[in-house]
Chain A
């Protein structure tokens, strides 16, 4: 197995195109597990660790451009205010060691339905910046990026350069159920983001469908009800029944399975509870921010 170590982004893209048998590796927290279990035998590893651009983030026109190689620990440290949902999700990833190595780009690369970065990216309306040597950059909305269980929209010659996430214009929340209180893969997860600037609500569901997904019907329902009741303006209390109805609609958007981590029925139930609570907390934050 070859070990390819590009030091520039251009070189990385060239190698990616030349070596279709190479497996990109960022933090390695998924890749090394797969290699250890002999689930993959790539002809080469394409180490992205020396490509400095990937490890940077910057703000640009109300959007955060988060390099694919920025680890969770940095997201937590630097971006709690601009990307609160992603930072909350990052706090729940693995252990301190995993948060230092693991990256958001790697989470997107793996595209596991249980990846914790996905729900907040969906709720925030993030866009994945993909690049290839041959065709340059293309932008794919997160909602279109996940194609199936551990399958994403990348072509064989492409790499993820960054993810572009609108800086939070309103409160965000992330909740994750696991069967122990730390270091656990999500049994189910939910993220929501309020976008008061455009009277919209964003959602993201994890571990409850073949891919991470939004709950579009729940989003328009809640945004519409808030609008109809003039609540965006008045910042009045969120009626409990409305929060509960939102929760039901979020659960309705999921299509979970039974597995060793939890039953499908529990996943639906817990999503409804998390969505109700998360919407209420986000709304209370919105009221407080007035």
Chain B
């Protein structure tokens, strides 16, 4: 690959799921794929997840939840529950010592409902008992007197001025208004559509779990699976009415997150019970409770319109996006921000009118999930781009290339794209990848329906779909986004050892390995110990927004540089040479012409050199409230997918035959981990296109189980061809670009497009169900 827009292009990494990973080579520095410390343990079932937490003295906490989407609590009677033998405590809202409110952006969610419950599954009371079953049975003996209230469950209805208010003053969480260019642009070709996206769940495999241990100082130590220890700590302290130093958090084994662990779950509840009983308290949700215990992806109702020249060049774009935030704010505000500022896709559009809304309803709260507002919008803008291509008679890939952003362009908020924007190239790559072989009816596992044996080739049509999308990396709109790293270098048993300590959550993505790789690269040592993640070091920021390799990676790099400078300073004094003339190479101090002057051991002796650095990415800015203009984001990540599907059009069953992708990652710090993110993200996006939906009727979740909330299996996910581009972002550490979310955004729209291509049906809602295809 040649360089693009002046950046040196690095070699492309090429891989498919069918090739065996190459043997580990190199020294475990950046660009290598050293074995992950958790890898073997996870595959053999020995990894300790938060649900494996144990303390010999512990008791178990359970949560009593509201059965109603909206009700007034007239009274709670806990007397009978308290009499159950083995019960240690029963708590209600009255027992919350601090603020009975938490929330990522607005503290609007009660720790335990006091006057009202606003969604089905809202926590109302807690029980601690010797055994989880005892606690569950006692919880059933709590009498809650509910006065059921009418529930607002349609987000369109929630916007009506006369709709009942879920919160005062009203149901609007945010209206993002964005205007650019002409007020009433006209174009010779106009296309428009309505699109709906259902409620997706993160469906992480390790349900919410934590263990709170009361401490001698009157505080509490919480071991928990989460995405951001410090934002949890802040909210827990407010609820407990305790200072920061009394509430200490340690990350436990996390079984996936995808945004679903940004909001609190067991955290405050376990601490309350531990402080009340004076005993360690474990809380661990089952699968069904997990569906009620975390936020979901916002369902969306969207209207889009494109105006274009007769050759397909965009003249204007309009979008109207309505996101159902459910009962509490969570991160709806920021999700609306993304759906608005990024919701027209990676295209050059001179004239723009966007209105994006987030509203309260009595549906389950919605918040962060991988792709964060871009996922919903991408289904609409990519479907409409196909419509436009057909309307003007231009090829569907070509029209995207023609309108695709390039480096130096301004996006719809007026921000200049100041690093690679290889939209056209990504599309060209996926288009040129080899096509899968034609349908082979001799192996039913390869057909729609698989061993269900519903077709031997009858009714099967093949379809191809393309999609290209982009996403911001890191936190946006003026948020001060940073991470903290403490790095220490010392000699142990004659060997140099670096210890890296951050609070950045490892949720399965491989951050621990990345931290080690950076330390090895910067300090030239082999042995790098990763300190347990906890709150005794500064915030690492959230493991979300595809940001940890960038931001915590940046902090670790900066801390290593500070350690290196301190070591060289020490050496300089001993050697009587200016530090600027010295380098740290392996475990040696070398001079300007490479001559070894001292060993690291000689310089350090018995001392340790330790540095802590708080590293901030470039500032972003709030957007203008009237025009939506502003430099809202720090970095953009681009990806494209090509999906090939076989659809049994008579039965409406789909087999995804190929799901190939190209993505620019700036710099692959760990190429295997990059591929893992791309494979997993693509599967998750495909899941939303074809099967993943929490079905909510009148505020009630109807499928809170893996029996009926379906996620793709190995027979649903094809092997992938993945092309990774590495156009370094000059503003980011090592040139990295966030990797985790883009594949989730572009894969679903490509799959949906392929199904439309095969069926010749409009299919304006995802997940696409068989009955949408058959019309029955």
- Taking Cβ atoms with an 8 Å cutoff, the residues of A that contact B are 36-38, 88, 91-92, 173-185, 187, 260-263, 265-266, 268-270, 273-274, 277, 281
Contacts and interface: CB of A to CB of B under 8 A. Distances in A.
Contact of B448 (A173, A181, A260): A181
14 contacts: A92-B451, A174-B453, A176-B452, A177-B770, A181-B448, A181-B655, A181-B713, A262-B771, A263-B771, A266-B771, A266-B776, A270-B774, A277-B456, A281-B456
A175 B447 CA distance: 13
Interface in B703-743: 703, 707-708, 710, 712-716
B776 A268 contact: yes
A277 B708 contact: no
Given A91-B451, A266-B771, A260 B703 contact: yes
Contacts of A178: 449, 452
Contacts of A88: 453
Interface residues of B, number: 38
Contacts, number: 96
A91 B445 CA distance: 11
A182 B776 contact: no
B386 to A, nearest CB: 24
B471 interface: no
Given A181-B449, A260-B703, A273-B651, A175 B454 contact: yes
A180 B712 contact: yes
Given A182-B714, A270-B776, 20 more contacts: A173-B453, A176-B453, A177-B452, A177-B651, A178-B452, A179-B653, A181-B449, A182-B450, A185-B708, A187-B770, A260-B708, A261-B708, A262-B770, A262-B771, A266-B771, A269-B776, A270-B774, A273-B650, A274-B651, A277-B455
Nearest to A91: B451
Interface of B: 136, 286, 288, 445, 448-456, 458-459, 650-653, 655, 690-691, 695, 702-703, 707-708, 710, 712-716, 769-771, 774, 776
A174 B714 CA distance: 22
10 smallest CB-CB distances across A and B, nearest first, come from A181-B450, A269-B776, A182-B715, A266-B771, A181-B715, A265-B776, A176-B452, A182-B713, A266-B776, A260-B703
The prevalent SS among residues of B at the interface is loop
A92 B452 contact: yes
Nearest to A269: B776
Q: Most B CB atoms within 10 A — which of A187, A260, A265?
A: A260
Contacts of B456: 277, 281
Given A92-B453, A181-B716, A277 B776 contact: no
Contacts of B774: 266, 269-270
Given A38-B136, A180-B712, A265-B776, A175 B452 contact: yes
Q: Most A CB atoms within 10 A — which of B453, B708, B715, B716?
A: B453
A189 to B, nearest CB: 8
B713 A180 contact: yes
Contacts of A175: 449, 452-454
A175 B771 CA distance: 17
A187 B712 CA distance: 17
A88 B453 CA distance: 8
A260 B702 contact: yes
Q: Most A CB atoms within 10 A — which of B451, B690, B710, B715?
A: B451
B454 A265 contact: no
